[in-house]
Amino acid sequence: MVKICCIGAGYVGGPTMAMIALKCPDIEVVVVDIAVARINAWNSDRLPIFEPGLDEVVKACRGRNLFFSADVEKHVAAADIVFVSVNTPTKTRGLGAGKAADLTYWESAARMIADVSKSDKIVVEKSTVPVKTAEAIEKILTHNNKGINFQILSNPEFLAEGTAIEDLAKPDRVLIGGRETPEGRKAVEALKAVYAHWVPEENIITMNLWSAEISKLAANAILAQRISSINAMSALCEATGADVAEVAYAVGKDSRIGPKFLNASVGFGGSCFQKDILNLVYICECNGLTEVANYWKQVVQINDYQKSRFVKRVVSSMFNTVSGKKIAVLGFAFKKDTGDTRETAAIDVCHGLLGDNAKISVYDPQVTADQIMRDLAMNKFDWDHPQHLQPMSPTATKQVDVVWDAYEATKGAHGVCILTEWDEFKKLDYKRIYDGMQKPAFIFDGRNVINVDELRKIGFVVYSVGKPLDP
Ligand code: NAD
């Protein structure tokens, strides 16, 4: 029986390995992590992450051929294939701070693999890493000269949170990059055989290591660029009376462009887009490609602009101040169907409103009060001066209230900001919400989920990103 071990039981490692275990009953899969609480949660009825369909997949194979363990070294030593799916956040200090990927978790995982291994292994880069990481990892794995054959493969993950199970079950493509040597090709074939259990052969693409590493960064950069492009258009639509939804529809009908990822919004969030683009910017700078670096930097800058534009719109609409006013924030996760709040636009929007002394009442169906308070307790990260990261003032956090119901959040509010596109926000009783609010009642839709005409008929003053403003 082939044995797989995955280091890192997070948003990628957990669901990805659960899908491999489900589709490959002849393979033993063990997911390990140094975070014991996370492993305990994977072994419980309350999984550490919310992802539609994940509970069912885990239940189907946990204890059969899927295991979660904090005994990292034992399971790494026993594995034939070791996936490394640890976090690769942006460096916050030192060389490249604010842009470069922090590979300390990766390096310590690689050193541990080198130390505990007694047999040949295929080591798979599942985390998103800078191009040429495999070269560094090879050096680390072979530093102690034990004569073990380590083959490094790049197998970046393209799942999106919220649709991870669907994406894993029917991936658009699986990418495997390896060395162009006989051993490298053998390793590629071994990993291909795992995915071939359920992915059609034509969707498994093999290529050289560096192309595979760059492809992941390129895909995220181009996806984020589409969002920044439509968001930039949304500002022009608002200035001219055009409707960005109509523009996106017209543009997306062009088969060369296509309709996906053209929804204007308050801005993208999540742990990947900003981090991966900044990493790309850093790699370009290191290679002397300043103009290319500046081009990609704009994608992040437009995203920041969109978030601050939203806050300015809220404040200016509400007679130029939200001081002392209650603002209901509906949605805190960075997108629907996840409880993940990493880099969510909601953090920046809330900080902006708190900066003008608003009182905020937050409701999100999947994010805990603790998480929201933790996220808001830190000031906005200053990428140019990462050392300036300071806790937020205690007075500001006192102005935040987290509640478990949209009606409770909006009761007595002067304004409502919709910051995550949860389906339930489309079905709320907006007449009831209107009746419970201060007048004039303002609603600012950062995800374009509400029916603007219906809400205006109820009496709301409505702002929806990129749509014509209230007459
Ligand atoms: P995560 O923070 O949810 O999980 C990483 C896990 O690795 C953590 O539980 C951490 O405790 C563990 N870990 C760190 N160092 C370890 C070590 N030395 N030994 C054992 N465990 C260790 O991160 P994630 O969202 O799963 O992302 C992982 C990687 O996948 C990142 O590089 C990310 O860019 C990439 N990625 C993420 C997504 C996504 O949607 N989240 C999608 C595609 C790719």
Does ipTM top 0.95?
yes
For residue 37, tell me if it sits in a domain. Answer: yes
Domain termination residue (choose one: 169, 199, 229): 199
Distance CA 182, CA 149 (A): 12
- Judgement on whether residues 247 and 147 belong to the same structural domain of the protein: no
For residue 80, tell me if it sits in a domain. Answer: yes
Our count of domains for the chain comes to 2
For residue 167, tell me if it sits in a domain. Answer: yes
- Judgement on whether residues 381 and 437 belong to the same structural domain of the protein: yes
Distance CA 244, CA 464 (A): 10
Tokens read off for 412: 């007595």
Distance CA 276, CA 250 (A): 30
Q: Establish whether 272 is a catalytic residue.
A: yes
Q: Closest residue (by CA) to atom 17 of ligand 1?
A: 109
Q: What is the CATH number of the domain that holds 420?
A: 3.40.50.720
Model pTM score: 0.95
Domain termination residue (choose one: 151, 168, 199): 199
Q: What is the pLDDT of residues 247-275, one digit of tens each?
A: 999 999 999 999 999 999 999 999 999 99
Strand 2-7 and strand 27-32: the pairing is parallel
| Closest to 216 measured CA to CA, from 101, 97, 126 | 126
For residue 471, tell me if it sits in a domain. Answer: no
Contact 361, 328 (CB under 8 A): yes
- Judgement on whether residues 247 and 151 belong to the same structural domain of the protein: no
Q: Among residues 5, 6, 272, 350, which one is catalytic?
A: 272
Q: What is the pLDDT of residues 312-365, one digit of tens each?
A: 999 999 999 999 999 999 999 999 999 999 999 999 999 999 989 999 999 999
For residue 273, tell me if it sits in a domain. Answer: yes
Residue 244: its pLDDT value, please? Answer: 98
Q: What is the pLDDT of residues 270-290, one digit of tens each?
A: 999 999 999 999 999 999 999
- Judgement on whether residues 166 and 236 belong to the same structural domain of the protein: no
Mean pLDDT value across the chain: 95
- Judgement on whether residues 347 and 279 belong to the same structural domain of the protein: yes
What is the number of other CB atoms lying within 10 angstroms of the CB of residue 320? Answer: 9
For residue 210, tell me if it sits in a domain. Answer: no
For residue 206, tell me if it sits in a domain. Answer: no
Residues at the annotated binding site for NAD(+)? 8-13, 33, 38, 86-90, 127-128, 161, 272-275, 342
- Judgement on whether residues 162 and 282 belong to the same structural domain of the protein: no
For residue 384, pLDDT over 50 is answered with no
Q: Closest residue (by CA) to atom 3 of ligand 1?
A: 10
Range of the domain at 369: 219-464
For residue 212, tell me if it sits in a domain. Answer: no
Cα(105) to ligand 1 centroid in Å equals: 9
